[in-house]
Each structure stands twice: as structure tokens, then as C-alpha cells.
């Protein structure tokens, strides 16, 4: 398959349930401005999104997003977050289907795809996560698992694309579960092999990010691979010193 034209890279950080408002303000005060040619997005807890945090993020060129949204616009769904409120807050990104949602909160391909429909039709740019567990990789099921996850994503994507509305940015993040928070990054060749497979099942224009123990030491090599269009960073996105070394790659 012909390698795709290189898309502009996306550097996404996933703060999970970590920073307080004070930590976030400290992060933005220490962070350099993001390079204009790189898109830098941070996925944060909804209650971190105070006016001060939003203003501090914008000053440094970061876009902000939430870590999940519900598939309905509103209703009796205690504890869930409406995409409409994210847009009302002036934000335009969300993360969906993260492996921690799948592992601890019963997220499935089906529910993640429903959330994707709502997010995108509400106008949110979305990073949709997929990835195999260690047991699945060791059992030789990586491509089978990825194929199933991508099929669910891609059928929803195509339904959305068939509508007349202009689509926001939709990206896939390949995050092998065994590489998340473990310090065990997939090698660039291992990641590229799966990215190429995802590409073959989707489109040349789809940004595909890699996530799982990305650090300042391995980010440049990962990003240099033809089918890796950015990174989704957990631990190393918490400190401005480490995240800036990652997003400053040019
Ligand atoms: P990590 O997390 O970089 O700490 O491995 C990545 C993620 O969960 O998105």
C-alpha cells in the first residue's frame, strides 16, 4: 500500500483524573507556546475547565477537550456528560473509548460508537481509542481485535460522513493496553504495523495517533513512521517540561 501523505501531527495529552485547577494553571504558566504547525490538545476532567484554565491554555496555543461524552443529548443519565455542554463551554474536543473506560466502566465498541455519533454530530473533534490487551497480543489476536474495533468505528464514521454536514476532525488512537502506564512502549515497527493495518481498513486521510508510554525519548521516532500522525500521551503530558519536549518536534 502507498504510504499516505503525512498529515499535520496531533499531540494530545490525556490528564486522566490527575490535575487540580492549581496544577493545571502551574502547567500552563511553565509551558512554552505550542508550535503553530502542530495541533496540541489536552483532555482533562470537566471540572478543570474554569475560565482561568481555559484562558491560560489558549494563551499557550492549547486546545482543550473532555475525556468522554454520552450518546444522548440529555436525559436521565446520572454521572454522564453531555456533548452539548462541552460545546456550550466553548470547547471542541473529546476523547472516546479509552481503554480505562473499557476496562473499568464497561465501555464497549457499541457504546463507544454511539458516543462517537453524538460527539461528531454535536461538532466535537474526536479521538477514538482502540487497542489490544496483553493477553490478546500473546494469544496472537492483535489484528483480529483491532479489526473488530475498527469495524465498529468505521461503520459509524461512514454513516456520519454520509450526512451533508461538514465533519469535525476525527482521529483514531491506537493504544495497546499493555503499553499504557507501564513504561513498555510498542516499538515504532510494532506500532507502524498496526497503524498500517488500521489505515488499510479505513482511509488515507484519517489521522491515526499512537499512545502507550510515549515519552520525549521515543516520540520523534514514533512520529517519523509513515502511518503515525501523532501521539496520545498520558503520564508524560502531566508536566510542561516533559510534554513540551514531545510537542516541540518539528
Ligand atoms: P501513558 O498513557 O502515556 O501514561 O501510557 C496513555 C493513555 O492512557 O492515553
| pLDDT value of position 59 | 97
Contacts of 4 (CB under 8 A, 6+ apart): 199, 204, 205, 226, 227
Q: Residue 45 burial (CB < 10 Å; 0-12/13-18/19+)?
A: middle
146 neighbors 200 (Cβ within 8 angstroms):
no
pLDDT tens-digit series, residues 187-241: 999 999 999 999 999 998 999 999 999 999 999 999 999 999 999 999 999 999 9
Which residue minimizes the CA distance to atom 6 of ligand 1? 234
d(CA 233, ligand 1 centre) in Å: 5
Mean pLDDT across the chain, nearest whole number? 95
**Tens-digit pLDDT profile for the chain (250 aa)?**
445 557 889 999 999 999 999 999 999 999 999 998 889 999 999 999 999 999 999 999 999 999 999 999 999 999 999 999 999 999 999 999 999 999 999 999 999 999 999 999 999 999 999 999 999 999 999 999 999 999 999 999 999 999 878 899 999 999 999 999 888 888 999 999 999 999 999 998 999 999 999 999 999 999 999 999 999 999 999 999 999 999 987 6
Q: How far apart are CA 171 and CA 174, in angstroms?
A: 10
Q: Please report the pLDDT score of residue 1 as a whole number.
A: 45
Query: 3-class SS at 10?
Result: strand
Q: Which residues approach ligand 1 with their CB closer than 6 A?
A: 14, 175, 180-181, 211-214, 232-236
Catalytic, 175? Answer yes
Tell me the best of 15, 44, 175 to mutate to test the pocket of ligand 1, counting ligand atoms within 8 Å of each CB and taking the most: 175
| pTM listed for this prediction | 0.96
- Which of 100, 107, 132, 175 is catalytic? The answer is 175
- Residue 44 C-alpha to ligand 1 middle, in angstroms? 13
Crossing angle of the two packed helices 109-121 and 142-162, in degrees rounded to 10: 30
Amino acid at each position: 500500500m502507498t504510504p499516505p501523505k503525512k498529515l499535520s501531527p496531533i499531540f494530545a495529552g490525556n490528564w486522566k483524573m490527575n490535575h487540580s485547577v492549581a496544577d493545571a494553571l502551574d502547567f500552563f504558566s511553565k509551558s512554552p507556546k505550542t508550535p503553530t504547525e502542530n495541533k496540541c490538545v489536552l483532555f482533562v476532567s470537566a471540572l478543570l475547565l474554569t475560565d482561568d484554565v481555559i484562558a491560560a491554555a489558549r494563551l499557550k496555543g492549547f486546545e482543550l477537550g473532555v475525556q468522554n461524552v454520552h450518546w444522548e443529548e440529555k436525559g436521565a443519565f446520572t454521572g454522564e456528560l453531555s456533548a452539548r455542554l462541552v460545546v456550550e463551554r466553548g470547547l471542541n474536543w473529546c476523547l472516546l473509548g479509552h481503554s480505562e473506560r473499557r476496562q473499568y466502566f464497561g465501555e464497549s465498541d457499541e457504546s463507544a460508537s454511539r458516543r462517537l455519533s453524538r460527539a461528531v454530530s454535536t461538532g466535537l473533534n474526536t479521538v477514538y481509542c482502540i487497542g489490544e490487551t496483553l493477553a490478546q497480543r500473546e494469544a496472537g489476536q492483535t489484528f483480529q481485535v483491532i479489526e473488530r474495533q475498527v469495524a465498529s468505528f468505521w461503520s459509524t464514521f461512514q454513516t456520519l460522513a454520509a450526512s451533508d454536514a461538514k465533519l469535525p476532525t476525527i482521529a483514531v488512537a491506537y493504544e495497546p493496553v499493555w503499553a499504557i502506564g507501564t513504561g513498555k512502549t510498542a516499538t515504532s515497527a510494532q506500532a507502524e504495523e498496526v497503524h498500517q493495518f488500521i489505515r488499510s481498513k479505513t482511509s488515507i486521510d484519517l489521522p491515526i495517533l499512537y499512545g502507550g508510554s510515549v515519552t520525549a525519548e521515543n516520540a520523534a521516532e514514533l512520529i517519523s513512521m509513515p502511518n503515525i500522525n501523532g501521539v496520545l500521551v498520558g503520564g508524560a503530558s502531566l508536566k510542561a517540561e516533559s510534554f513540551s519536549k514531545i510537542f516541540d518536534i518539528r
